[in-house]
Amino acid sequence: MMKRRMILLGPPGAGKGTQAKIISALLGIPHISTGDILRDAVKSGSELGKKVKEIMERGDLVPDELMDRIVENRLKENDCRKGFILDGYPRTVKQAESLEKILENLNEKLDIVILVDVSEDDVVRRITNRRICPKCGKVYNLIVPDLRPNEDELCDLCKVKLIQRDDDKEETVRRRYRVYMESTSPLIEYYDKKGILERIDGKHQPEKVKEEILKVLEGNQI
């Protein structure tokens, strides 16, 4: 049986968002990106947005309790009963413990945690070349052939000039990587001990990484 309740774990820039979108479309299950939820809140100028704007710009983590509440509300929605892809959450052991409780209350359990692994240098190279469309939010990458825009730094769909995420500047990326190593990477051992961790090499092209992910979701690697 295809595993459908999953976390994509890995440093910023590993390609979690790209893969989550592909898998979400293939399996018909929601992609829950806490980064996207927070960026939307900042854009809309909501109370939540005002609270998290500066934290995100620094590359720090938003408080656990706030994130837990956001994810709990999202996971309670009906479309998540068929499965879900968590991207960017949990990011601390405390969040992982909360997630377990949230799922327990829903009578559900995680099927699998997929670690998409890439080196710090690759992370910095990729993220500083990441661009987004300010209009439709589509994500591009100037150095990943599959994700390059057709025309120089213009959105293929909207034809407007692509921009960089505020937290994608090199200095902030290095800080986000440090935060990942300190606060998030302990989750690797946490889920390994539970026997649900699978590692994928994230340095390949998105198409190849997708194939690897599908393999572990089908449980073919044993």
Indicate the residue among 89 and 191 with the shorter CB distance to ligand AMP: 89
Shortest separation between residue 191's beta carbon and ligand AMP, angstroms = 15
Residue span binding ligand AMP (CB under 6 A) among the ranges 61-69, 75-83, 113-121, 142-150: 61-69
* DSSP conformational letter for 140: E
- Range 98-157, binding ligand AMP (CB under 6 A): none
Compute the distance between CA of residue 75 and CA of residue 220 in angstroms, rounded to an integer.
Answer: 28
Between CA 179 and CA 24, with CA 84 as vertex, the angle to 5 degrees is 95
Residues 6+ apart with CB under 8 A from 192: none
What is the three-class DSSP state of 141?
Answer: strand
Q: Annotated catalytic, 165?
A: yes
Among 20, 61, 114, 133, binds ligand AMP (CB under 6 A): 61
Whether the CB-CB separation of 132 and 125 falls below 8 Å is answered with: no
As a whole number of angstroms, the longest Cα–Cα distance in the chain is: 49
- Range 1-60, binding ligand AMP (CB under 6 A): 12, 34-35, 38, 55-56, 59-60
Helix 16-27 crosses helix 206-218 at what angle (to 10 degrees)? Answer: 60
62 binds ligand AMP (CB under 6 A): yes
Q: Among 138, 148, 165, 174, which one carries the catalytic annotation?
A: 165
Whether the CB-CB separation of 95 and 68 falls below 8 Å is answered with: yes
Indicate the residue among 131 and 176 with the shorter CB distance to ligand AMP: 176
**Residues with catalytic function:** 16, 91, 130, 165, 176
Which residues of this protein are in contact with ligand AMP, per CB under 6 A?
Answer: 12, 34-35, 38, 55-56, 59-62, 67, 88-89, 91, 95, 167, 176
